[in-house]
Amino acid sequence: MTNTPRQQPEQQAPPAQKLQVRYAKRGRARFTSHRDFHRALERALRRAGVPMAYSSGYNPHQRISFSNASPTGAATEAEYLELALREVVEPDAVRAALDAALPEGMDILEVVPSPPGGIADRLNASIWEIRVAGLPRAMLEQAVAALLAAESVEVERMTKTGMRTFDARAAIIDLTVTADDTLRLVSLHGTPLVRPDDVLQALARADESFAPADPPLLTRLAQGDWDGTRIVGPFEPRPTT
Protein backbone atom coordinates (compact mmCIF):
# COMPACT_ATOMS: atom_id res chain seq x y z
CA MET A 1 0.00 0.00 0.00
CA THR A 2 1.11 3.54 -0.69
CA ASN A 3 0.18 6.61 1.23
CA THR A 4 -1.53 9.17 -0.96
CA PRO A 5 -0.82 12.74 0.15
CA ARG A 6 -3.97 14.48 1.31
CA GLN A 7 -5.08 17.07 -1.18
CA GLN A 8 -4.77 20.59 0.17
CA PRO A 9 -8.06 22.50 0.44
CA GLU A 10 -8.81 25.31 -1.96
CA GLN A 11 -7.69 28.69 -0.67
CA GLN A 12 -10.39 31.33 -0.85
CA ALA A 13 -9.76 34.79 -2.26
CA PRO A 14 -9.77 37.74 0.17
CA PRO A 15 -13.17 39.43 0.60
CA ALA A 16 -14.04 42.13 -1.92
CA GLN A 17 -16.16 43.99 0.64
CA LYS A 18 -17.06 43.93 4.33
CA LEU A 19 -20.37 45.16 5.69
CA GLN A 20 -21.41 45.84 9.28
CA VAL A 21 -24.99 45.08 10.29
CA ARG A 22 -27.21 46.26 13.14
CA TYR A 23 -30.09 43.90 13.86
CA ALA A 24 -32.89 43.46 16.39
CA LYS A 25 -34.58 40.52 18.10
CA ARG A 26 -38.16 41.35 19.01
CA GLY A 27 -41.18 39.56 20.42
CA ARG A 28 -40.83 35.78 20.61
CA ALA A 29 -37.53 35.99 18.71
CA ARG A 30 -35.88 37.12 21.96
CA PHE A 31 -35.97 33.46 23.06
CA THR A 32 -33.80 32.47 20.08
CA SER A 33 -30.34 31.38 21.21
CA HIS A 34 -27.23 32.80 19.59
CA ARG A 35 -26.58 29.47 17.85
CA ASP A 36 -30.13 29.31 16.48
CA PHE A 37 -29.91 32.90 15.23
CA HIS A 38 -26.60 32.08 13.53
CA ARG A 39 -28.22 29.17 11.67
CA ALA A 40 -31.23 31.30 10.70
CA LEU A 41 -28.91 34.02 9.41
CA GLU A 42 -26.90 31.59 7.28
CA ARG A 43 -30.10 30.29 5.68
CA ALA A 44 -31.38 33.84 5.11
CA LEU A 45 -28.11 34.90 3.47
CA ARG A 46 -28.44 32.03 0.98
CA ARG A 47 -32.12 32.78 0.29
CA ALA A 48 -31.37 36.48 -0.17
CA GLY A 49 -28.58 35.72 -2.64
CA VAL A 50 -25.96 37.68 -0.69
CA PRO A 51 -22.55 36.86 -2.32
CA MET A 52 -20.81 35.70 0.84
CA ALA A 53 -17.08 35.08 1.07
CA TYR A 54 -16.07 31.75 2.59
CA SER A 55 -13.22 30.69 4.83
CA SER A 56 -10.41 28.50 3.54
CA GLY A 57 -9.78 25.01 4.89
CA TYR A 58 -11.43 21.62 4.70
CA ASN A 59 -14.79 22.89 6.00
CA PRO A 60 -15.43 26.31 4.41
CA HIS A 61 -18.06 28.43 6.12
CA GLN A 62 -19.60 31.82 5.55
CA ARG A 63 -17.44 34.60 6.94
CA ILE A 64 -19.63 36.14 9.65
CA SER A 65 -18.27 37.83 12.77
CA PHE A 66 -20.57 38.46 15.75
CA SER A 67 -19.97 41.03 18.49
CA ASN A 68 -21.21 40.71 22.07
CA ALA A 69 -24.53 38.97 21.45
CA SER A 70 -27.28 39.53 24.04
CA PRO A 71 -28.34 36.63 26.30
CA THR A 72 -31.18 34.30 25.33
CA GLY A 73 -34.50 35.71 26.52
CA ALA A 74 -33.50 39.35 26.12
CA ALA A 75 -34.98 41.52 23.39
CA THR A 76 -32.60 43.87 21.63
CA GLU A 77 -32.52 46.82 19.27
CA ALA A 78 -28.74 46.97 19.00
CA GLU A 79 -26.93 43.77 18.02
CA TYR A 80 -24.02 43.90 15.57
CA LEU A 81 -22.24 41.60 13.17
CA GLU A 82 -19.92 41.83 10.17
CA LEU A 83 -20.26 40.08 6.82
CA ALA A 84 -17.41 39.43 4.38
CA LEU A 85 -18.53 39.37 0.71
CA ARG A 86 -16.86 38.10 -2.44
CA GLU A 87 -18.44 40.89 -4.52
CA VAL A 88 -19.11 44.57 -3.93
CA VAL A 89 -22.84 45.23 -3.42
CA GLU A 90 -25.10 48.07 -2.34
CA PRO A 91 -25.48 47.92 1.47
CA ASP A 92 -29.13 48.96 1.50
CA ALA A 93 -29.98 46.23 -1.03
CA VAL A 94 -28.43 43.68 1.34
CA ARG A 95 -30.44 45.14 4.23
CA ALA A 96 -33.76 44.86 2.37
CA ALA A 97 -33.14 41.36 0.96
CA LEU A 98 -31.81 39.94 4.21
CA ASP A 99 -34.57 41.48 6.32
CA ALA A 100 -37.19 39.91 4.03
CA ALA A 101 -35.52 36.48 4.28
CA LEU A 102 -35.29 36.32 8.08
CA PRO A 103 -38.09 34.98 10.34
CA GLU A 104 -40.50 37.36 12.03
CA GLY A 105 -38.96 39.23 14.94
CA MET A 106 -35.42 39.09 13.55
CA ASP A 107 -35.05 42.45 11.86
CA ILE A 108 -32.16 44.00 9.95
CA LEU A 109 -32.06 47.70 10.84
CA GLU A 110 -28.89 49.07 9.23
CA VAL A 111 -26.14 47.88 6.90
CA VAL A 112 -23.06 50.03 6.29
CA PRO A 113 -19.60 49.55 4.72
CA SER A 114 -17.08 48.45 7.34
CA PRO A 115 -14.59 51.15 8.36
CA PRO A 116 -10.99 50.18 9.21
CA GLY A 117 -10.65 48.17 12.40
CA GLY A 118 -13.04 45.75 14.06
CA ILE A 119 -16.47 46.68 15.36
CA ALA A 120 -15.83 45.02 18.73
CA ASP A 121 -13.47 47.85 19.72
CA ARG A 122 -16.39 50.30 19.43
CA LEU A 123 -18.74 48.29 21.67
CA ASN A 124 -17.70 48.83 25.27
CA ALA A 125 -21.02 49.81 26.89
CA SER A 126 -24.76 49.16 26.65
CA ILE A 127 -28.05 50.76 27.61
CA TRP A 128 -30.67 48.31 28.89
CA GLU A 129 -34.34 48.71 29.72
CA ILE A 130 -35.43 46.38 32.54
CA ARG A 131 -39.17 46.04 33.17
CA VAL A 132 -39.91 44.73 36.66
CA ALA A 133 -43.60 43.98 37.24
CA GLY A 134 -45.30 43.64 40.60
CA LEU A 135 -43.11 45.88 42.76
CA PRO A 136 -44.02 49.39 43.95
CA ARG A 137 -41.95 52.19 42.45
CA ALA A 138 -40.78 53.18 45.91
CA MET A 139 -39.32 49.71 46.38
CA LEU A 140 -37.47 49.95 43.06
CA GLU A 141 -36.05 53.33 44.00
CA GLN A 142 -35.00 52.00 47.41
CA ALA A 143 -33.16 49.03 45.90
CA VAL A 144 -31.46 51.18 43.27
CA ALA A 145 -30.30 53.66 45.91
CA ALA A 146 -28.90 50.83 48.05
CA LEU A 147 -26.99 49.31 45.14
CA LEU A 148 -25.53 52.62 43.95
CA ALA A 149 -24.47 53.50 47.50
CA ALA A 150 -22.47 50.27 47.82
CA GLU A 151 -18.78 50.24 46.90
CA SER A 152 -19.12 46.70 45.57
CA VAL A 153 -21.79 43.99 45.37
CA GLU A 154 -20.62 40.50 44.50
CA VAL A 155 -22.84 38.13 42.52
CA GLU A 156 -22.45 34.57 41.29
CA ARG A 157 -22.97 33.04 37.87
CA MET A 158 -22.32 29.59 36.46
CA THR A 159 -19.83 29.77 33.57
CA LYS A 160 -18.20 27.20 31.32
CA THR A 161 -15.41 26.88 33.88
CA GLY A 162 -17.70 26.62 36.90
CA MET A 163 -19.29 29.01 39.38
CA ARG A 164 -17.73 32.47 39.27
CA THR A 165 -18.04 35.36 41.73
CA PHE A 166 -17.55 38.95 40.57
CA ASP A 167 -18.45 42.54 41.41
CA ALA A 168 -21.56 43.69 39.52
CA ARG A 169 -21.50 47.21 40.99
CA ALA A 170 -18.22 48.11 39.25
CA ALA A 171 -19.77 47.84 35.77
CA ILE A 172 -22.72 50.18 36.44
CA ILE A 173 -22.35 53.66 34.98
CA ASP A 174 -25.95 54.66 35.71
CA LEU A 175 -29.10 52.98 37.05
CA THR A 176 -32.37 54.89 37.32
CA VAL A 177 -36.09 54.25 37.72
CA THR A 178 -37.70 55.75 34.61
CA ALA A 179 -41.30 54.56 35.12
CA ASP A 180 -43.33 52.74 37.77
CA ASP A 181 -42.06 49.35 36.55
CA THR A 182 -38.98 50.22 34.49
CA LEU A 183 -35.26 50.58 35.17
CA ARG A 184 -32.69 52.09 32.80
CA LEU A 185 -29.22 50.58 33.11
CA VAL A 186 -26.05 51.92 31.52
CA SER A 187 -23.21 49.46 32.00
CA LEU A 188 -19.65 48.95 30.84
CA HIS A 189 -18.54 45.77 29.11
CA GLY A 190 -15.76 44.04 30.98
CA THR A 191 -14.38 40.63 31.84
CA PRO A 192 -16.47 38.92 32.98
CA LEU A 193 -19.31 40.71 31.22
CA VAL A 194 -21.88 42.01 33.74
CA ARG A 195 -25.34 41.30 32.33
CA PRO A 196 -28.70 42.78 33.36
CA ASP A 197 -29.60 39.61 35.25
CA ASP A 198 -26.41 40.05 37.26
CA VAL A 199 -27.53 43.60 38.14
CA LEU A 200 -30.92 42.23 39.21
CA GLN A 201 -29.13 39.76 41.48
CA ALA A 202 -27.06 42.64 42.85
CA LEU A 203 -30.23 44.65 43.56
CA ALA A 204 -31.61 41.74 45.60
CA ARG A 205 -28.35 41.48 47.55
CA ALA A 206 -28.24 45.23 48.20
CA ASP A 207 -31.89 45.28 49.34
CA GLU A 208 -33.56 42.04 50.45
CA SER A 209 -37.04 43.47 49.77
CA PHE A 210 -36.27 43.49 46.03
CA ALA A 211 -37.91 40.23 44.92
CA PRO A 212 -39.79 40.36 41.59
CA ALA A 213 -42.51 37.72 41.30
CA ASP A 214 -42.07 37.31 37.53
CA PRO A 215 -38.95 37.27 35.36
CA PRO A 216 -38.14 40.86 34.31
CA LEU A 217 -38.28 41.76 30.60
CA LEU A 218 -34.86 42.84 29.32
CA THR A 219 -34.30 44.94 26.21
CA ARG A 220 -30.96 46.26 24.98
CA LEU A 221 -31.67 49.72 23.59
CA ALA A 222 -28.20 50.77 22.48
CA GLN A 223 -24.62 49.57 22.34
CA GLY A 224 -21.45 51.47 21.56
CA ASP A 225 -18.50 53.41 22.92
CA TRP A 226 -18.88 55.23 26.28
CA ASP A 227 -17.24 58.64 25.83
CA GLY A 228 -17.66 59.74 29.42
CA THR A 229 -21.05 61.36 28.91
CA ARG A 230 -22.99 59.15 26.49
CA ILE A 231 -22.84 56.02 24.36
CA VAL A 232 -21.66 56.74 20.81
CA GLY A 233 -23.10 54.18 18.37
CA PRO A 234 -20.61 52.27 16.19
CA PHE A 235 -22.12 53.70 13.00
CA GLU A 236 -21.91 57.30 14.19
CA PRO A 237 -19.14 59.45 12.63
CA ARG A 238 -15.95 59.61 14.66
CA PRO A 239 -14.16 62.90 15.20
CA THR A 240 -11.04 63.32 13.12
CA THR A 241 -7.74 64.34 14.72
**What residues are paired with 54 via a beta bridge?**
62
Dihedrals φ, ψ of 94, to 5°?
-65, -45
Strands (E), 13-90: 17-25, 64-67, 75-85
The pTM of the full predicted model, rounded to 2 decimals, is: 0.90
For residue 115, give Cα distances in angstroms to 78, 122, 235, 236, 238. 18, 11, 9, 11, 11
Below-70 pLDDT ranges, the chain: 1-10, 239-241
Strands (E), the chain: 17-25, 64-67, 75-85, 106-113, 125-131, 154-159, 162-167, 172-179, 182-188, 217-226, 231-232
pLDDT of residue 99: 98
Please tell me the distance from the alpha carbon of residue 170 to that of residue 154, in angstroms, as a whole number: 10
For residue 27, give Cα distances in angstroms to 4, 50, 80, 208, 232. 54, 26, 18, 31, 26
pLDDT of residue 12: 74
What three-state secondary structure class fits 212? Answer: coil
**Separation of CA 146 from chain center:** 28
Alpha helix ranges (H) inside 60-213: 91-101, 137-149, 196-206
Terminal Cα distance for the chain, rounded: 66
pLDDT of residue 213: 86
